[in-house]
Amino acid sequence: MVEVQLAHRGVRDPLVLEAMGSVPREAFVEPGFEEFAYEDSPLPIGEGQTISQPYVVALMIEAAEVKPGERVLEVGAGSGYAAAVLAQIADRVYGIERHPSLVQAAQRRLSDLKYTNVELRSGDGTLGWPEAAPFDAILVSAGGPQVPKALKEQLAVGGRLIMPVGAAGMQSLQKITRKASGEFEEQSLGAVAFVPLVGEHGWTEDGPRSATGHLPGQSRSRSLPALIAKVAEPLADCDDEDFGRAFDDFANRRIVLLGEATHGTSEFYRARFAITRRLIEAHGFTIVAVEADWPDAAAIDRYVRHRDPRAHPGRAFQRFPTWMWRNTDVHDFVEWLRAHNEHLPPEKRAGFYGLDLYNMSGSIAAVLEYLEKVDPDAAAIARERYGCLTPWQKEPSTYGRAVLTDSYRRCEDAVIEQCRELLRKELDYAQNDGASFLDAAQNARLIASAERYYRIMYYGGAESWNLRDTHMFDTLMHLVEAQGSGAKALVWAHNSHIGDARHTEMGQVRDELNIGQLCRERFKAQAALIGFGTHTGTVAAATDWDEDMQIMRVRPSHRNSYERLCHDTAVPRFLLRPDRDAVVRRRLTDPRLERFIGVIYRPETELMSHYSEASLARQFDAYVWFDETTAVTPLGPQHARPGVPDTYPFAV
């Protein structure tokens, strides 16, 4: 936590870093949330309050310049965690919390951990603690409409006050320094999201904002939802041709990436179908590359491009999560694509390709089948080389256990050498059947990448995610290069893959990259990153990996999220392009929560499991909004899921 979430993000004060590393955060969270204690996210502590994320706690303490020997006041003591961190540095810490039950729980925790220099009491934090003043530093862990005069007056000369100011979801972290008796210096430290500061000089119990979503006395025209509504372009129904036409402005891009906020929402699939249909029919796009295994997508590609099926075809998309691609919306798209291609020459037909790397057994079979036809001697060598992978073909996630021995190195060398040999013979094979060669070559690359992926995922971390997304990007590049300089591609993948990772917690905290970032770096303005979002509805998902699919209710979006801003516009369906309004872009650049639901959905821990901080205006070029959505309809029985749990827990 200290190295990755704090020091890596710019917290430099050694006193703060040491203090954050000394306090056991798991002791300050509610029972059942211990596993999330060192995630960089807020956690519930009861009474509708939260314990702030570690980075924000460290940022505020560093900004307050807390030093040994000082007296510090914390307003909104909550769980007692920040008070404990402050107690590691300061001489004396005073904490005020308006909920007596939280004060009692915090006092027990602090007593158990032997913090004797902290005093807590229940009361109105906006009034401060006059008897203990003056304070060298005051930290307010809740957002108010302005900094209470009483708190400013309780600062010592030279004292620093840190407080979020604004309504929920619209706060700016302010630093107030008392320069002299009646002189204060103010500084803004950036956007934050805190619970409301309730009290005589704060908000009322009814909450930090009115039903219209703006500050009391503030013009409605200046509220962020109202600004978004003014800029948003209402969209027709997905089945209306006008829906697709709304995206004609992206037709001149080489790569258009279409996201989804969940893996099981019908509107996202239908919208991508409509956009893709328009860009293929009217603007010459010929590549549809999806977040799916190459061999499975290749079976669909043969069907839509009217090519002969493989000699021993298997049913595509049979592994968990089957509903992600075996659903009625994808079926409708595939049938349309086949009909579109029917009367076109082969070189003009649009293809359907998988970018992902998991189905090792299917890929091995595809490479061997191809080599048996074009080079039996090479097939015999490849079969021998791939033999070292055989024990893990049915359950390749267990391959990671082999890292405890040296055997995997021989296997890695073998598959890489096989890939190299296949590519060295590209010219000879391509003369016979260029399309088949592309399929076989990509499968060879896939095996090499997958072997490394299953080895790396044993340890987890950013390396496995980065290998996966780099492989998907490289696959996309092979497809584009194979079709020449005029090739134009559409990518269907989750928002976590197609939004620029550099402007999310993925890149800023976890050192993860993704396809969206790599496409921007490679294609600059020729890449369009389009995210999708929803407020509520239903979704097809499972509660755990390889469990049965369920139709679940999506909880209404969090009050401090981008999704809630979009919901508060009262526009049910729209396209948002932040660059069309400088004020909107600036406001949507401030980091907020954003929801990510994959094939796993756990509503009971949604804030920790499915929300992450992002800068939406930097993450995406455009954003498609559906206020209420419905789950996809799967094809076939969901209990038949042969295959492996190969992405959990690293992928959305």
Residue 644 lies in a domain: no
Q: Which helix (H) or strand (E) holds 79?
A: none
Judgement on whether residues 275 and 350 belong to the same structural domain of the protein: yes
Predicted local distance difference test score (pLDDT) of residue 242: 96
Same-domain status, 67 and 205: yes
Q: What is the CATH number of the domain that holds 125?
A: 3.40.50.150
- Give pLDDT, residue 166: 84
Q: Are strands 611-614 and 622-629 parallel, antiparallel or unpaired?
A: unpaired
- Number of neighbours of residue 372 by Cβ within 10 angstroms: 15
Is residue 52 flagged as an active site residue?
yes
Question: How far is it, in rounded angstroms, from Cα 245 to Cα 254?
Answer: 18
Q: Which residues of 465-504 are buried (b: 16+ CB within 10 A; e: fewer)?
A: bbbbbbbbbbbbeebbebbeeebbbbbbbbbbbbbbbbbb
Residues contacting residue 211 through CB under 8 Å, at least 6 positions apart: none
Helix (H) or strand (E) holding 129: none
Pairing of strands 592-595, 611-614: antiparallel
Domain containing 345 equals 227-355+488-635
Do 472 and 506 share a domain, yes or no?
Answer: no
DSSP codes joined into one string, 528-561: EEEEEEEEEEEEEEBSSTTPPPEEEEEPPPPTTB
- Confidence bin at 33 (pLDDT 50/70/90): confident
pLDDT digits (tens, 9 = 90+) for 221-240: 358 999 999 999 999 999 99
Same domain membership, residue 169 and residue 244: no
Among 218, 240, 273, identify where a domain stops: 218
pLDDT at 617: 96
Of residues 52, 79, 449, 464, which has the active-site annotation? Answer: 52
User: Does residue 276 sit in the same domain as residue 346?
Assistant: yes
Residue 301 to residue 334: CA distance in whole angstroms: 9
- Give the whole-number percent of the chain exceeding pLDDT 90: 56
Name the token pair of 418: 């096989």
Residue matched to tokens 């970032």: 517
Are residues 263 and 339 located together in one domain of the fold?
Answer: yes
User: What is the count of structural domains for the chain?
Assistant: 3
Residue 142 sits in the same domain as residue 31: yes
The pTM score is 0.71
In contact, 162 and 187? CB cutoff 8 Å: no
What is the overall mean pLDDT for the chain?
A: 84
Helices (H) and strands (E) in the chain, counts: 22, 20
What do you get for the CA distance between the two ends of the chain, in Å? 22
Same domain? For 580 and 526 the reply is: yes
pLDDT of residue 43: 80
Residue of 136 and 190 predicted with greater confidence: 136
pLDDT attached to residue 38:
84
In terms of Cα–Cα distance, which of 201, 155, 279, 297 is closest to 530?
A: 279
Regarding whether 295 and 349 lie in a shared domain, the answer is yes
Lowest mean pLDDT among 386-400, 545-559, 573-587: 386-400
**What's the token pair of residue 636?**
């076939």
Lowest mean pLDDT: which of 357-361, 406-410, 518-522? 406-410
| Same domain membership, residue 362 and residue 348 | no
Same domain assignment for residues 287 and 382: no
415 with 385: CB under 8 angstroms? yes
Matching residue, tokens 């996202």: 268
pLDDT at 553: 97
- 238 and 267 Cβ atoms separated by less than 8 Å: yes
pLDDT at residue number 649: 27
User: Of 163-172, 318-327, 376-385, which range is least confident?
Assistant: 376-385
My answer on whether 167 and 23 are in the same domain is yes
